[in-house]
């Protein structure tokens, strides 16, 4: 599950969104673990430079600590998703605690998109959360958070695994900042040269609000 591109069996078992339309030359950049006052504004500057919109899976606790950074990324036109309140590991967190943590983050983030931290979520948690959320996994994980990997290696991972409809994971965290900030401009330029467009992951939050009115 933690290799750059997970296999079919994993994808079949964990029914979630791993990749978008394979017939469209579009990729979806996503950033996990922010908002961070040190890293998120620099990330926004790079995305603005290329006029690219992305989806940020925010940790509720970080939104609470840095509401101005959260507001900034919304103001720049990016989409947001829920990454739990306390970045919990689903496998080692009991069912109710996990669901309550997601609900707590939801009050701050208000999105129908949910990405389980580490991709670790039990079938029971997944089934329950799928009722209200689209569970977003990934097609390409850059592993930018790994200090043993260089920005060149991260760039290589992106070039090797990206394809139509790929959801690509970066992290706007201090741990990943060096690798991510150096790789991101190169990656965007390379992807553009390959003919890819960029899109945010559609969030049906508004539709659900309308349906429940």
Q: Which residues bind Zn ion (CB under 5 A)?
A: 32-33, 117
Residue 145 phi/psi, 5-degree rounding, is -80, -10
CA dist., res. 170 & res. 184, Å (int): 9
All residues at 6 or more sequence positions from 181 whose CB lies less than 8 Å from its CB, including other chains: 39, 42, 43, 46
Q: Which is nearer to Zn ion, 16 or 196 (CB)?
A: 16
State the CB neighbour count (10 A cutoff) for residue 64.
14
Q: Which is nearer to Zn ion, 33 or 144 (CB)?
A: 33
CA dist., res. 75 & res. 59, Å (int): 18
**Would residue 178 show up in a list of annotated catalytic residues for this protein?**
no
State the CB neighbour count (10 A cutoff) for residue 68.
9
Longest dimension (CA), the chain: 50
Task: Single out the catalytic residue among 32, 101, 106, 172.
Answer: 32
Task: Single out the catalytic residue among 101, 171, 172, 203.
Answer: 171
All residues at 6 or more sequence positions from 65 whose CB lies less than 8 Å from its CB, including other chains: none
Q: Which is nearer to Zn ion, 97 or 192 (CB)?
A: 97
Nearest approach in angstroms of CB 55 to Zn ion is 13
**Would residue 171 show up in a list of annotated catalytic residues for this protein?**
yes
Nearest approach in angstroms of CB 61 to Zn ion is 12
Q: Which is nearer to Zn ion, 184 or 196 (CB)?
A: 184
Nearest approach in angstroms of CB 92 to Zn ion is 15
Nearest approach in angstroms of CB 209 to Zn ion is 26
SS3 of residue 189 by DSSP: helix
Active site residue ranges: 32, 171
């Amino acid at each position: 599950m933690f290799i750059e591109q997970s296999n079919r069996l994993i994808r079949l078992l964990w029914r979630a969104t791993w990749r978008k339309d394979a017939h469209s030359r579009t990729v979806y950049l996503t950033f996990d673990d922010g908002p961070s006052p040190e890293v998120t504004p620099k990330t926004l500057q790079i995305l603005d430079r290329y006029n690219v919109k992305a989806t940020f899976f925010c940790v509720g606790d970080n939104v609470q600590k840095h509401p101005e950074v959260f507001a900034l990324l919304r103001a720049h036109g990016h989409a947001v998703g829920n990454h739990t309140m306390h970045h919990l590991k689903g496998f080692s967190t009991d069912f109710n605690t996990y669901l309550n943590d997601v609900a707590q983050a939801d009050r701050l983030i208000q999105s129908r998109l949910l990405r389980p931290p580490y991709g670790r979520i039990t079938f029971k948690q997944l089934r329950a959360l799928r009722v209200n959320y689209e569970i977003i996994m990934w097609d390409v994980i850059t592993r930018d958070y790994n200090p043993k990997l260089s920005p060149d290696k991260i760039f290589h991972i992106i070039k090797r695994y990206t394809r139509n409809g790929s959801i690509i994971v970066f992290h706007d965290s201090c741990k990943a900042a060096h690798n991510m900030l150096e790789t991101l401009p190169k990656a965007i330029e390379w992807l553009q040269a390959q003919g890819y467009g960029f899109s945010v992951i559609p969030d049906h939050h508004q539709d659900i609000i309308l349906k429940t009115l």
